[in-house]
Amino acid sequence: MSEPVTREQIQAKLTDIFRSIFDDDNLVLSDSTNADDIEEWDSLNQIKIILACEQVFKVKLNARKVNTLNNIGEMIEYLQDALRTAGSA
Amino acid sequence: MENDIRLVCRDLRAIAADPIALQRICKRIAKEIATGRLAGDRVRIAVLSTFLVDMLIDVLRAALLARGVVADIVKGAYGAIAVDLLSEKSITRDCDLVIVLPTHRDLAFVPQPGCSQAEDNAAVEQEVAVWTDLWARIKAPIVQLSFDPPPWRALSEGDGFRPGGHLRHVRCVNQKLGELAPAQVALVDAEALARTVGQAWHDARTYFLCKQPFAPSAVWEVADSIAAASAGLLGKARKVLVLDLDNTLWGGVIGDVGLTGIVLGSETHEGEAFVAVQRYAKSLAARGIILAVCSKNRDEIAREPFRAHSGMVLREGDIACFVANFEDKVANLRRIAQALNVGLDALVFVDDNPVERAWVKQELPEVLVVNLPDDPALYCQAIESARAFPTHRVTAEDLGRNASYRSRAIVAEVSSEATDMGAFLRGLEPVARVERVNSGSLERIVQLVAKTNQFKLNPRTFSAEEVLQRAQSTGNVIAVRLKDRLQDYGIVTVAITEFQGEEVTILNWVMSCRVFSRRLEHATLELIRANARAAGAARIRATFVPSSKNAVAREVLTELGFTPAGDADWVVPTVPEVPLESHFMHIESGEEL
């Protein structure tokens, strides 16, 4: 039985994903970061983020649900839920 | 930075399984290309598709750069292949290459289960006509993905075979498109590609999410196979497979274990693996890839298995250039390229020794070094997956190429000894035969102009129709076959000329590097002069546009007495001021068919 994944761990991995997709090593995510804060965050990059999260966290995400999230804080909570469900399955 | 980028894009396959890392690097490469600083042939490419290609294009750009093509890519509106091509303002108009990417979803005449054989055949004809009509509208060369096998098979195991089967329709249409594709259309086999990619080919989630039919993990294979086909059409296919011997073509070190000690043949599993490698090399040779050997051995010991081992598939006669000595492999690879008269960028190097591979990679970045795994059972796959030798049709010249290069290497050896060049050339008893432009020669003429890189005055190419039309005026298309005591080299030089008032203009002139230093250019200019005299032209004009590879064409123009006359123009009088050295060629005319 693996340890539950913490918010901090998810945020660190998410930061790596964002830095890769936007090719910016100085990019910092906070709970309130949203699509308005990152210039290149368009619908294609949104899909890349979803696909990358699926690859990194090894979970399947609901794209419609992801599109309703307002900021990174909500994204982290959603990923935490998804991981918990995947872990208990 | 530039060299870093080039080396990185060579090794992208290693990170292909990690789409996030792959896309990041490809994005950097795209930025670098956008600066305009990268040297190389810049090519404008249009991508037309019915699915989302944004992720694919980033990787495609990198895969093309790995093949020496610096690509500026424009993409058509999503899902509008035909609409774009039918439009007056088609984005393909100024492009050097058009990439067309449909899927099985674009088939418009899929027959219903239970239809008759005749109805099924008619559906195939209708489907094929759509695409052959579209091809006819594009002037540039085309790389097109064939239709992929659909994910579901309504007719179960009969779907691929029975009338009304969806998969059968896909297969029949692909087959027919392959048969009807003109020389400037290269099809990428989607069925083979789907097999390579496996499960990731049909990824319903990704498709519904963003209309990319395959998973992110498949993007590399798709991009690389399209890049390879594109490189083939752009004349960037590699030409020579250079093979090490010990532990590459047989197991063990022959200098230590002797002829009877090497592992080769069906007696052992490892011996079988080496036989398979040799068979694979032989099959490549049979379709025109030149084989060379580069081994650290004593020459006579290295040749022994080729002469006396029953397990050998390759014979000495299969190897166009055989180099076995104890010198540095970098020097030997240079020597091989020189003897075969090809660039280092035509070579693919296969060696089991990682130290040799690393050394060659570092010293000769132009050479493609295959990342050979430890297990010889995986060698063929490693060579194949490099996609170094793209071809979409095999010509008669391809089939005779190994023999041709073998004698080229012999000529190189002989001529380095012969001190009297004239006597040597005369001794070869050369015959230059002026060929008629007809169905037998047309494809070779078009291909030679398109694919030649070194002796080529300028980038202009000619479609088959244009060559036929120009050939209607006598003497305007000069295609010459060279034969000598050693062999028939096929059509190896083409000059396309045009009469304009007082002058004859050479629109373009190419010559295969296999026949350099044979003074065939003297004979060709003589033919052009004869035509110019007959037409009453006082001067002959040529357009020379320098590229990264055609320096030799400038040298030859100078040698032939051409002088620069402003811009890209070079001229020479119809009646030579100083006679050229004799070419010793007997000139023949091709017969009427």
For residue B163, the domain's CATH number is: 3.40.50.1110
Rama region for B567: left / alpha / beta (φ>0; ψ in -120 to 50; rest): left
Smallest CA–CA distance from A23 into chain B, residue: B24
In a domain? residue B167? yes
Domain with B24 in it? 2-233
Q: What pLDDT does residue B411 have?
A: 63
Q: What pLDDT does residue B2 have?
A: 61
Partners of B21 on chain A (C-beta within 8 Å) are: 20
Q: What stretches in chain B show pLDDT beneath 50?
A: 416-419, 592-593
Is B226 in the same domain as B141? Answer: yes
Domain end, chosen from B368, B385, B402, is at B385
Is B367 in the same domain as B327? Answer: yes
Across the interface, do A47 and B28 touch by the CB < 8 Å criterion?
Answer: no
Is B12 in the same domain as B138? Answer: yes
In a domain? residue B411? no
Across the interface, do B20 and A44 touch by the CB < 8 Å criterion?
Answer: no
Q: Which residues of A touch B (CB under 8 A)?
A: 17, 20-21, 23, 44, 47-48, 50-52, 55-56, 60, 63
Residue A1 has pLDDT above 50, yes or no: no
Q: How far is B115 from chain A (nearest CA, A)?
A: 40
β pairing state of B347-350 and B240-243: parallel
Mutate to test the interface with B, among A20, A44, A50 (most CBs of B within 10 A): A20
C-alpha–C-alpha distance, residues B430 and B493, integer Å: 14
Is B543 in the same domain as B461? Answer: yes
Is B380 in the same domain as B451? Answer: no
Q: How far is B197 from chain A (nearest CA, A)?
A: 17
Is B75 in the same domain as B196? Answer: yes
Distance of CA B251 to the CA centre of its chain: 32
- Give the start-end residues of each E strand in B130-231: 142-145, 185-188
Q: What pLDDT does residue B38 have?
A: 81
C-alpha–C-alpha distance, residues B370 and B299, integer Å: 24
The H-or-E segment that residue B532 falls in is: helix B520-535
Across the interface, do A20 and B55 touch by the CB < 8 Å criterion?
Answer: no
Q: Which residues of B touch A (CB under 8 A)?
A: 18-21, 23-24, 27-28, 31, 52, 54-55, 205-206, 209-210, 216
Residue B209 has its nearest CB partner, among A23, A56, A63, at A63
Global ipTM: 0.83
Neighbouring C-alpha atoms within 13 Å toward the C-beta of B273: 16
Is B224 in the same domain as B272? Answer: no
Q: Is B587 helix (H, G, I), strand (E, B) or coil?
A: strand
Is B206 in the same domain as B255? Answer: no
Q: What pLDDT does residue B16 have?
A: 83
Partners of B54 on chain A (C-beta within 8 Å) are: 44
What DSSP assignment string belongs to B343-385? -GGGEEEE-S-HHHHHHHHHH-TTSEEP---SSGGGHHHHHHH
Joined together, the tokens standing for residue B461 give 């190419």
Across the interface, do A21 and B20 touch by the CB < 8 Å criterion?
Answer: yes
Which domains does chain A possess? 7-88 (1.10.1200.10)
Is B212 in the same domain as B251? Answer: no
Determine contact, residues B24/B52, Cβ cutoff 8 Å.
no
Q: What pLDDT does residue B94 have?
A: 85
Q: pLDDT (tens digit, 9 = 90+) per residue, B206-228?
A: 898 889 999 999 999 999 999 99
In a domain? residue B290? yes
What's the total number of domains in chain B? Answer: 3
List the CATH number of the domain containing B300.
3.40.50.1000
Smallest CA–CA distance from B31 into chain A, residue: A23
Q: What pLDDT does residue B419 have?
A: 46
Across the interface, do B23 and A48 touch by the CB < 8 Å criterion?
Answer: yes
In a domain? residue B402? no
Partners of A48 on chain B (C-beta within 8 Å) are: 23, 55
Q: What pLDDT does residue A86 have?
A: 79
Domain end, chosen from B385, B409, B444, is at B385
> Pseudo-torsion of CA B363, B367, B373, B378, nearest 10°?
-170
In a domain? residue B208? yes
Q: How far is B24 from chain A (nearest CA, A)?
A: 5
Is B461 in the same domain as B497? Answer: yes
Across the interface, do B27 and A23 touch by the CB < 8 Å criterion?
Answer: yes
Across the interface, do B205 and A60 touch by the CB < 8 Å criterion?
Answer: yes
In a domain? residue B393? no
Across the interface, do B19 and A20 touch by the CB < 8 Å criterion?
Answer: no
Mutate to test the interface with A, among B32, B55, B210 (most CBs of A within 10 A): B210
Is B208 in the same domain as B125? Answer: yes
Across the interface, do A20 and B21 touch by the CB < 8 Å criterion?
Answer: yes
Mutate to test the interface with A, among B209, B219, B220 (most CBs of A within 10 A): B209
Which amino acid appears at position B425 of this protein?
L
Distance of CA B449 to the CA centre of its chain: 13
Joined together, the tokens standing for residue B485 give 């005591």
Which amino acid appears at position B542 of this protein?
A
Q: What's B250's DSSP letter?
A: B
Domain end, chosen from B182, B200, B233, is at B233
**How would residue A89 be classed by pLDDT, with cut points 50, 70 and 90?**
low
Angle between helices B464-471 and B442-451 (to 10 degrees): 120
Partners of B31 on chain A (C-beta within 8 Å) are: 23
Q: What pLDDT does residue B412 have?
A: 61
Joined together, the tokens standing for residue B293 give 């050997």
Q: What pLDDT does residue B550 have?
A: 87
Nearest C-alpha neighbor of B550 from the set B152, B193, B235, B149: B235
Across the interface, do B23 and A17 touch by the CB < 8 Å criterion?
Answer: no
Q: What pLDDT does residue B10 have?
A: 77
C-alpha–C-alpha distance, residues A79 and A75, integer Å: 6
Determine contact, residues B205/B218, Cβ cutoff 8 Å.
no
Smallest CA–CA distance from A21 into chain B, residue: B24
Question: What does chain B come to in residues?
Answer: 593
In a domain? residue B459? yes
Across the interface, do A51 and B27 touch by the CB < 8 Å criterion?
Answer: no
What DSSP assignment string belongs to A41-63? --HHHHHHHHHHHHHHHT----H
Q: What pLDDT does residue B417 have?
A: 46
Q: What pLDDT does residue B591 have?
A: 57
In a domain? residue B556? yes
Is B245 in the same domain as B223? Answer: no
List the CATH number of the domain containing B550.
3.40.630.30
Cβ-based contacts under 8 A for chains A and B: 33
Query: What is the pTM assigned to this prediction?
Result: 0.73
Partners of A47 on chain B (C-beta within 8 Å) are: 209-210
C-alpha–C-alpha distance, residues B499 and B245, integer Å: 55
Q: What pLDDT does residue B593 have?
A: 39
Partners of A55 on chain B (C-beta within 8 Å) are: 18-20, 216
Partners of A21 on chain B (C-beta within 8 Å) are: 20, 23-24
C-alpha–C-alpha distance, residues B395 and B487, integer Å: 17
Residue A21 has pLDDT above 70, yes or no: yes
